[in-house]
Structures are given as structure tokens and as C-alpha cells.
Amino acid sequence: MIKVKVYVTLKAGVLDPQGKAIEQALEAMDVNNVEGMRVGKYMEFHLEPEKGQSVDEQVTHMCEQLLSNPVIEDYRYETEEVITP
């Protein structure tokens, strides 16, 4: 069993209205020393490896077809083996 963590972020240059809203909310809280707030998604799941396909191939397929929008978003992921007794 593999634990996969996927991070999806907006590409540089893509407007991030959610990040801007957070910056404004922080200013309203008197926090004025934050800049460049960017909001993305974080997903984690367990993957049972399938024969004939590498984990990288599978996760890349999922990220490109469903978990991210490749036009405006980048993704990266980490995998770790889970040892179940």
C-alpha cells in the first residue's frame, strides 16, 4: 500500500482571488506583513499498486485527468510505502 500526497497549485501568473481575499482578511485582522498568498489544494489517499503500471504512471494519470487542471495548475506529489503488519 502506498500513501500518496498531492499538492495542486496555481501556475505563477494566474490570478488567485482566494489568496487575495485571505490577504484582505488578514489586513482586517491587523496582520500587515504577509504577501504573495497563494491557495492550492492538498489531497492524500492510499493506492494499492497495480501490476503492469508503475505508481508514478498511475498518479500522473490521475493528476492530469482529474485532480488538477493542467491549463492553469501545477501539481507535485510525494509517495511513501505504508507497511501494514
- Supply the DSSP symbol for 85: -
Distance CA 76, CA 20 (A): 23
Confirm or reject binding of residue 45 to a copy of itself (CB under 8 A): yes
Confirm or reject binding of residue 66 to a copy of itself (CB under 8 A): yes
Count of chain residues binding a copy of itself (CB under 8 A): 33
- Binding a copy of itself (rule: CB under 8 A), the pick from 36, 71, 83, 84 is 36
Distance CA 63, CA 41 (A): 12
Confirm or reject binding of residue 15 to a copy of itself (CB under 8 A): no
Would the CA dihedral through 61, 65, 67, 69 be positive or negative?
positive
Distance CA 51, CA 34 (A): 47
Least distance between a copy of itself and beta carbon 71 (Å): 18
- Binding a copy of itself (rule: CB under 8 A), the pick from 47, 73, 74, 79 is 47
